[in-house]
Each structure stands twice: as structure tokens, then as C-alpha cells.
Chains A and B, each alone.
Chain A
């Protein structure tokens, strides 16, 4: 009898092999989702639940509790740290909607992860700032794919004690000669989107390259921008990814000049630190303009609670809620009427919410794609940007 039994080691290996085969089978399956591209035509009753993905500070009880009480939709929020994480989470199909920045929206659309929005079912959409509607990062195939939430510009900030005279151009961080004066003190955003900052600079200073849109770059334009950042590498004191990291570096003097968000700028001002940004005489931005971001609430193509999601999209751009979230997060609201409801009566002025002239010079983040409208499909896509960013940092 005994001799007929398999050797124990063989048995164990058979079990291992069997389980592995089972795993691989599971890995092979899955996937295969798609958008039906249909928008909701009629708003029904709330489904009682709502699963959101958002930036930290976008869904807080201050304005989500009243929403729950009013609609009966219980809000389950998942905070994501980066645009990439948002895309990954949305692809699980377990969420109803997301507050996507412009560098995620096109990827979500291309992947069929989001549906168009029927803005007639979102009454507050009428009073959203008109320069936020119909933008390339929230409108695809001529249809709105989301509801604008708020926006911000990436400012040039400097330490007013040590950086003199006050800079008027991004050359203090990007021109190899000028920036050398700030060697080791430059603070650069640690993200592939920084390539757009360099190409925006080249757009103004190297007209021969023919850059029109800092996010649509052909091989030559892309290489020039990447080269500029490679030269900047040895001058950079710190690449920052978290706002707090940059605030501490400016507060203790490790960084004296660099790209920032309005949030860090005002936080440092409040701490009484000697920081400055472009003054009103320059339209609050360096002469080249600036990159920026504009966030959009999008609805998942696999949303299980579409009615609640529509109610949420209408709620978050209602005057009071939009004012609350904008003030809490530190961004310009999307809702015109929100400016009357902010606690700080100066808030909309500080963040230039009502100045279309300011926003005309802001190039909102968007996903770089190969098909950039010239028919040749020769633009660098986001994956190229990510790889290039790794080589820049070295």
C-alpha cells in the first residue's frame, strides 16, 4: 500500500502547481469593461448610497452631512493622493464618481470609465463660470463629461528677503544662467506636469520651436523642454510632492524660489514668513503665464447610484457648498454665486475667482495624448512624460 502513495515532496509540488495554475487563470480573466456613452435622461429617486473618490478636503462632513440629510444618499468617500491613483481606483468600477484633475480626465474618457453628463439635470451648472465650461479637459466629442468644481494656478513663489529683485519670469527657476543664482534653493513640483511648465517657458522664449499648447508637444519640442529641466536638475534644492514638505522647506529657508500652489503661499503668509508671489501689476502671474489645474466631478460609466451622483454634482456646485469647499481647500470656486457665501469676504479676490483675464493666462493640466489634433498622432503621450520625468531626476 505505502509504496503506491506518491512521494510527499511530489505531492506538495503538485498542490503548489495546481494552486498556481488556478491563480494564473484568475489573473487571465477580468477586465473588459466599457462605457455605453449614454447620459442620464431623467433624474430618479436617490439610491441611498454614493461612493466617491476625491482629493483630500473635497468631501468633508461640513457640507456632505447636509447633503445626506437632504437627499438620503449616504456618502462613502475614498481620498486619493494623486491623479494616477484616481484613474486606477475608477477602473475598479466600484465608485460612482470622482473629482478628477485635467491630467486624469482624458485617460478616464479614453478608457471608457466615465459617462457624459446631462447638464440639464444639474440646475446649478447654469451659474458656473463660463470660462470653465466646454474646456478640452472636461468636454470630449462635444459633450460635457463632468461638472467643474474649482481651479487654481501654479504660482511662482519666492523668499522676499533673499531673492532680489522680485522675479517677473520663470527664468529664475528655468533659465540656466539666471537660475544659477538660486542654486540649491529652487523648489520644483515633483510631477511629470513640470514638463509643461518648461514648455510654457519655451513657448515664450524660443518661438522657433513653435509650441502652441504646453501639453501637446512633438518630439523636438518635448526634447527641448526635457533638456531645460535636465539642466535645472543640478540647481534644484528640493522636488516637492506634498504641500507640507514645501511649506517646511520655505519656512526654514532650505528653498527660496519655486513653483507652488496658492494653498502653500497663503499658508506661509499666515505664518508670517517672508514669501511673495507675482503682484497685481503683472496680473499676479509671471510674464509667461502659468500652469494650473481645474477639477471636474465625473460620473462613472458603471455607477451603481447615478441619481445620487447627479444630486451630488448639483450639491457640490451649489453656492454655499462650493464656497465652503473652496475656502477649506484653498482654490477658486467654480460657482459664480459662491463668492457671496465665503466666510472671508476677500476670498474670491485673493484667488482671482472672478477675473477671466487672470485665468486666460493659466494653462490647465491635461493628459498629454499622442493624438493632439494635428492628424499626425506624433505628440508625446503621458507615459512618455512619466518616463522622461524619471530620466530628468536621474
Chain B
């Protein structure tokens, strides 16, 4: 008797909750979204907000402990010291070069995969593009370090031609980054090209357009948002990397300076970390103007 009552009560409690949620759909949506939204807000926006605030703190010169009061010292140093301008410009230029290089290399590969290759070849090519992502980033960067060293395979191969490799430096960083992030460019372009109906290409040809004109007037405009989407990956990844520059050059990138300051002067590191955010926001605004997000 008692258990039966409990069951009834439990059922009625569940039903009451169901009724409540049914009567108030807003509550239902709220309960569903609380988890993911909380994660997004606390995990992403919250830490970004703290980063923003920390950029205006400072450290005590004697003990190195945080001083939590407003100061523009970090931003001033960032603007006044020419070395930080050099580093920011270097990072942005290399990131742009890597993006352009990857776009130029990735487009023909993606086009072949999407429009020319047979079903079977396409599958093989997709796997081939993905395979480099299976191995560790560090292994790839260190292999490049070995290959680029003065007694490395690149110099060995170029020697008979009377040439020598780039050695360590900005060129090496550009080369390694372009290699590392290529798959992130190929895949979005491939997906974008696959969505272009073949009939459009046939129609262009039927109307008498030469292949180059078809490419320029039909394919490129339709695939452009995909290229921009891929470029966001390559650009952002290069902008934030600090390990490759350490391994194949003596030059500092934004990430290296953040890393060097993170434990001695956290507020300054936070101020520096704002730079990529600002650059990225600007980049995304331009990308939106170019129509990268229209078909998402």
C-alpha cells in the first residue's frame, strides 16, 4: 500500500514537472540551454573578459605579485616600444603569407578532388590530405628542423645545383607553417567546390565561355567564401603559434613574447594577447564583407 502511494506520488511529481515545462516553454528552453550556454559563457567569454581586464593590471616590481588596479602601463609599453611593433608586423605578415601560399596550393588540389577525380580516387585523396593530421605537431615541426639544418637533407639535395636551403629564419617559419596548416585550407575549399553543381559549369561552357572564363566568372565567385573560411584557420593558427618559430628561427612572434612574459608579468602577456584578438576581429569583419559567412 505504502509503496503504491510512493509510486503514484513519484509519478505525479514527474508529471507535475512535465506540466510545468509544458505550460512554460521558455523555462523548458532555458533548462535545456543552461548547460551549453553556461559552458560557453564561463569557459570562453568569461576567460576572454578576464584576459581583457588582466591587461590593465600590473605587477609589483619587488615581489612580482599582481596588483589589481587599473593602469595603462602595459598598453603604453606595447605601443611605445618599437620592438613590439616589429614583432606584431612580423607575425601578421608571416600569417598572411602562409594563408596566401596555402590558398594557392590548396585550390588546385581541392578542385581536382571535388570535380575531376573518380569516387575512389576522391576517397583516397581525402585520406591523403588528412593523414598528416594524424601525427603529432611536434614531430612534424622537429622533422623540419632536422631537414632545414645546415647538414640536413634540403641542403644535401640542393648542393649539386649550387644552391643552398633557406636555413633557420623567417623563410623557414613560413615554409613549416604553410606545410602544417595546408589540410585546414584544402578541406573547406573541397567542401565548397563540391557544393557547386556541375550543371553550372556545363551551362557556362554551352554559352561559349572558355575554361579560364568559366573559372573566373563561375567557379571562383562561388568557391570564394570557402577559401575565406579556410584562410581563417590558417591565419589564426599562424597568428597564435609559438613553437615553430622557436624551433626553426631565432625570431620572436606574438606567441613567444606572451610565453616569455606569462609567469613574470601576466598583465603584460594579457595585453599582448589582445593583439591577435584585435587582428582576428578585423580579419573576420573583412571576411564577412567578402561574403564568407553567407552560406553558413
Question: Is the beta-carbon distance between B260 and A383 smaller than 8 angstroms?
Answer: no
Number of A-B contacts (CB under 8 A): 108
Minimum C-beta distance from A91 to chain B (A) = 8
B252 CB contacts on chain A under 8 angstroms: 390, 393-394
**A88 to B260 Cα, complex, angstroms:** 13
Total residues of chain A contacting the partner, CB 8 A: 46
**A229 to B146 Cα, complex, angstroms:** 27
Question: Is the beta-carbon distance between B263 and A85 smaller than 8 angstroms?
Answer: yes
Among B46, B68, B247, contact of A20 (Cβ-Cβ < 8 Å): B46
Judged by a CB distance under 8 angstroms, whether A160 is at the interface is: no
Question: Is the beta-carbon distance between A88 and B263 smaller than 8 angstroms?
Answer: yes
Question: Is the beta-carbon distance between A386 and B264 smaller than 8 angstroms?
Answer: yes
**A112 to B62 Cα, complex, angstroms:** 12
Binds A, one of B35-43, B184-192, B212-220, B286-294: B35-43
Judged by a CB distance under 8 angstroms, whether A92 is at the interface is: no
Known contacts A24-B49, A87-B263; is-contact A111 B250 (Cβ 8 Å): no
B250 CB contacts on chain A under 8 angstroms: 236, 238-239, 393
Among B62, B152, B247, contact of A381 (Cβ-Cβ < 8 Å): B62
Total residues of chain B contacting the partner, CB 8 A: 45
Judged by a CB distance under 8 angstroms, whether A31 is at the interface is: yes
**A394 to B82 Cα, complex, angstroms:** 9
Minimum C-beta distance from A5 to chain B (A) = 6
Question: Is the beta-carbon distance between B61 and A383 smaller than 8 angstroms?
Answer: yes
Minimum C-beta distance from B159 to chain A (A) = 15
Question: Is the beta-carbon distance between A369 and B62 smaller than 8 angstroms?
Answer: yes
Question: Is the beta-carbon distance between A16 and B45 smaller than 8 angstroms?
Answer: yes
Interface string of A242-261 (1 = CB under 8 A from B): 00010011001110000000
Judged by a CB distance under 8 angstroms, whether A15 is at the interface is: yes
Question: Is the beta-carbon distance between B53 and A27 smaller than 8 angstroms?
Answer: yes
Judged by a CB distance under 8 angstroms, whether A74 is at the interface is: no
Judged by a CB distance under 8 angstroms, whether B83 is at the interface is: yes
Judged by a CB distance under 8 angstroms, whether B238 is at the interface is: no
**A101 to B254 Cα, complex, angstroms:** 28
Question: Is the beta-carbon distance between A24 and B50 smaller than 8 angstroms?
Answer: yes
B4 CB contacts on chain A under 8 angstroms: none
**A27 to B246 Cα, complex, angstroms:** 32
Which of chain B's residues 130-163 have a Cβ closer than 8 Å to chain A?
145-146, 149-152
**A91 to B262 Cα, complex, angstroms:** 14
Question: Is the beta-carbon distance between B46 and A23 smaller than 8 angstroms?
Answer: yes
Judged by a CB distance under 8 angstroms, whether B199 is at the interface is: no
B64 CB contacts on chain A under 8 angstroms: 87, 107, 110-111, 382-383
Question: Is the beta-carbon distance between B42 and A15 smaller than 8 angstroms?
Answer: no
Known contacts A88-B263, A241-B246; is-contact A28 B50 (Cβ 8 Å): no
11 pairs across A/B with beta carbons < 8 Å?
Answer: A8-B26, A19-B41, A19-B42, A24-B53, A82-B263, A248-B149, A386-B265, A390-B84, A390-B252, A391-B81, A394-B83
- Beyond A16-B37, A31-B66, A88-B263, list 10 extra A-B contacts (CB 8 Å): A19-B42, A24-B50, A31-B65, A91-B65, A110-B62, A241-B246, A248-B145, A254-B150, A370-B62, A381-B61
